[in-house]
Amino acid sequence: MKAVAKKSAEAQAISNLREHLLKGALPLGARLTEMELAAQLQIARTTVRLALHRLAQEGLVVQIPYTGWMVANLTAADAWELYTLRAALEALAARLAATEATEIGRKKLRTAQERLVKAALSGSLPDAAKADFAVHETIVEISGHRRLAEQYRIVGQQIRLFIACSDALLASGRALIDQHRPIVDAILAGNGDLAASLSERHNITEGRKLVAHLAPTEAAQEAILNRLRPP
């Protein structure tokens, strides 16, 4: 039996802030102040600063020189990069998981899918988005490809942000279930080619929808800025 490890104040601050941002408690682009966060979390400002630097490395917050911090924005270009990267990484993971996953790995995937179904039907978008990411993360984990898993972890929190924004465009939780069930079924059936194809198609289809949603807003904002700029 493993001993229970106590998290440091910094680790707890990172975890709390990450979940706070990813559940949509603050809008994208919102300003963050170390003093307010320190008061809310009841920890030292230095600890908050360390946590924010870690989240900046994960791509969830951005440090503005001489000004402070802000929640990272997700542009159409960001969405394009993330969905094309996901399409490649997750297709490979799905192909490998179908043929390399152990029975323990397949059980993990079934459990992750069951949790997604429960979360999607609960009506809670943050819970559904978190369970959505967990399914994809599990597929990568059970693929048995260590370097693939390492690369996925690097962009993992940005993918969670992408998923939260993408899932918000869905008409219902049922749609989320229907998107993932064929991929999971193909993996559990050992059909690597089908699993890879379905995973790639899922990422490209939903990614294009998010890009199409973000692009007009950015164009409108740019038009306003252009009008405000001096001639």
Do 34 and 89 lie in one domain? The reply is no
In this predicted structure, what is the pLDDT of residue 228?
A: 43
Question: Starting at the edge strand that comes first in sequence, how are the strands of the sheet with 61-64 ordered?
Answer: 31-32, 68-71, 61-64
Q: Find all residues with CB under 8 Å of 142, minimum gap 6, and list them.
A: 97, 100, 101, 102, 105, 106, 108, 109
Query: What type of residue sits at position 168?
Result: A
Residue ranges making up the domain that contains 111: 76-218
pLDDT digits (tens, 9 = 90+) for 3-44: 444 567 778 888 888 888 887 777 778 888 888 888 887 888
Query: What DSSP letter does each residue of 75-136 carry, written as one string?
Result: -HHHHHHHHHHHHHHHHHHHHHHHHH--HHHHHHHHHHHHHHHHHHHHT-HHHHHHHHHHHH
| This model's pTM is above 0.75 | yes
Instruction: Out of 63-77, 80-94, 151-165, pick the least confident.
Output: 63-77
Do 139 and 188 lie in one domain? The reply is yes
- What is the CATH classification number for the domain harbouring 83? 1.20.120.530
- What is the CATH classification number for the domain harbouring 17? 1.10.10.10
Is 210 inside a domain boundary?
Answer: yes
Q: What domain count does the chain have?
A: 2
Do 157 and 88 lie in one domain? The reply is yes
Paired with 63 in beta bridges are: 69
pLDDT digits (tens, 9 = 90+) for 94-124: 999 999 999 999 999 999 999 999 999 998 8
Report the range out of 19-28, 45-54, 117-126, 139-148 with the highest average pLDDT. 139-148
Do 145 and 48 lie in one domain? The reply is no
Collapsing DSSP states into helix, strand and coil, what is residue 63?
Answer: strand
Do 127 and 213 lie in one domain? The reply is yes
Do 19 and 49 lie in one domain? The reply is yes
Is 231 inside a domain boundary?
Answer: no
Is 148 inside a domain boundary?
Answer: yes
